[in-house]
Amino acid sequence: MKTIVSGIQPTGAINIGTYLGSIKNFVALQQAHPDHHFFLFIADTHALTVPQDPVKLRQAIKELAAMYVACGINLKQTSLFVQSAVSAHQEMDVLLQSFAYMGELERMTQYKDKALKQTSGIRASLFTYPVLMAGDILLYDAEFVPVGDDQKQHLELTRTIAERVNHQFPDFFNVPKPLIPELTARIMSLQNPDQKMSKSDPNVKSKILLTDDAAIIKKRIRSAVTDSEGTIRYDANSKKGLSNLIRIYAALENRTISDIVKRYETSDYQTFKADLGDLVASHLEPIQARYHSLLKSQELIDILNDGQAGAEALAIKKVQRFKKKLGLGLNR
């Protein structure tokens, strides 16, 4: 069975950067590969790399699960589950710690960025996080891993770890390929187009949440930072803000950048922004309706239980085989 694996951390409301950079591509990828099974999870253990309020964390897990389903994940082709519920992830993490090197982890830019923002109490799990992530992927012998640009380095490390294990135990892991979308790998903040749109940005005007209502969405886009040139054209260097909006437009309509630029070449920013506001709001409307009904339903719990069983069926066996290869236990 060929597999696709991905996960997102339940660490706050989901914005259109995460949606366009990852979730929307999950759906497209499933359609393009109907013979691949998708192991999709809520990466809750990863969230513990920084302090969390347990009540908020549990709520965020539920919200992310509902959002995955609302965004159109094909459940017939997917095992959707909560990472911590499948303890093989923790076991694989421990085993792979012995196949990753300190120097490799020290080079991870996300670790360096996050550690720099903290003055004390940097958790060991923040440092070893890429190993847990490698385990998430290798447990299912993923063929593809769809992620945004910021996960590229972690995927490279996953491949290195897989190759290192395979060197000792030939063909034990499939070496996964990252799938990073070209157009939407980095959706930028609406207020500062030099920074990516981020869950952790405290400025609410910098992003559009998938749960924002139409009035807010239109307002956020109207106030998005652009430039004073007044001409609608794509230039990711000198017109970062407008180009970011053009990418959002093109991604939502599944069109190319030049299609959109051509359509608006004689328009002004105000018209373009108003149309984009309508487009985002109408795209999100059915997702929001499904999301709110799922959150209250037993259906979501059933989906997660089924997903957990599907994931465990594969993951437990893989861990057992790995332990045996490594010479652990007595294998009676």
Residues carrying an active site annotation:
114, 196, 199
Shortest spacing between CB 145 and ligand TRP, in angstroms: 5
**Choice between 8 and 280, CB closer to ligand TRP:** 8
Which residue in 3, 15, 79, 151 binds ligand TRP (CB under 6 A)?
Answer: 151
In angstroms and rounded to an integer, the radius of gyration of the C-alpha atoms of the chain is: 21
Region near ligand TRP per CB under 6 A, out of 133-141, 209-217, 243-251, 303-311? 133-141
| Residues recorded for the chain | 332
Among ligand AMP, ligand TRP, none, residue 17 binds (CB under 5-8 Å by kind) = ligand AMP
Cα–Cα distance list, 307 to 4, 118, 239, 300 (Å): 14, 36, 44, 11
Among ligand AMP, ligand TRP, none, residue 136 binds (CB under 5-8 Å by kind) = ligand TRP
Among ligand TRP, ligand AMP, none, residue 135 binds (CB under 5-8 Å by kind) = none
Position of tokens 């999870």? 41
Among ligand TRP, ligand AMP, none, residue 176 binds (CB under 5-8 Å by kind) = none
Token pair for 210: 């998938």
Shortest spacing between CB 22 and ligand TRP, in angstroms: 8
Cα 316 to Cα 320: distance, rounded to the nearest angstrom? 6
Asked if 197 touches ligand TRP (CB under 6 A), the answer is no
**Choice between 147 and 319, CB closer to ligand TRP:** 147
Which residue in 3, 4, 9, 64 binds ligand TRP (CB under 6 A)?
Answer: 9
Token pair for 203: 């400025």
Q: Is 195 left (phi over 0), alpha (psi -120 to 50) or beta?
A: beta
Smallest Cα–Cα separation from 246: which of 229, 266, 269, 223?
269
**Residue nearest ligand AMP, Cβ-based:** 21
Residue 26 identity (one-letter amino acid): F
Cα–Cα distance list, 295 to 39, 67, 183, 260, 308 (Å): 21, 9, 31, 35, 18
Query: For binding to ligand TRP (CB under 6 A), which residues are involved?
Result: 5-9, 43, 46, 133, 136-137, 145, 147, 151
